[in-house]
Amino acid sequence: MPVSHVSRLLEELERKALHESSLTDLNVTLAREDLVRIEAMASAFGLTREEVCTSLLHTILMEVEEKMPYRPGPKIIRIEDGDPIYEDIGPMPRYLDAKRKIEKELDCA
């Protein structure tokens, strides 16, 4: 039986409500030039500047996590396919530890 339009609408509303409940306000100070860029994007895409900022931050944070450098340390943590895998002494382990700690704090709040 195909999903009705009303069922799809209810699912979308539920997804939106769940997403909205996970949002938090954040005040930032911007350079005038950046504010102009954000306002221009909002105007061009028919969005609010908050929606543009949220999308930009999300995308940038995802890419920063992907690009965070791996720096091999002196300690071998495992062997894969006969090759040693060294511990990461770059910023990623510290970042992940801080992220887990903050997520735990937010879950307890």
Against a cut of 0.85, is the pTM above it?
A: no
Terminal-residue alpha carbon distance, the chain: 43
pLDDT, tens digit (0-9, with 9 covering 90-100), for 41-71: 999 999 999 999 999 999 999 999 999 999 9
CA distance 33 to 24: 25
The pLDDT assigned to 2 comes to 67
pLDDT, tens digit (0-9, with 9 covering 90-100), for 19-36: 888 888 889 999 999 999
pLDDT, tens digit (0-9, with 9 covering 90-100), for 1-13: 567 899 999 998 9
Q: What ranges do the domains of the chain cover?
A: 1-67, 69-109
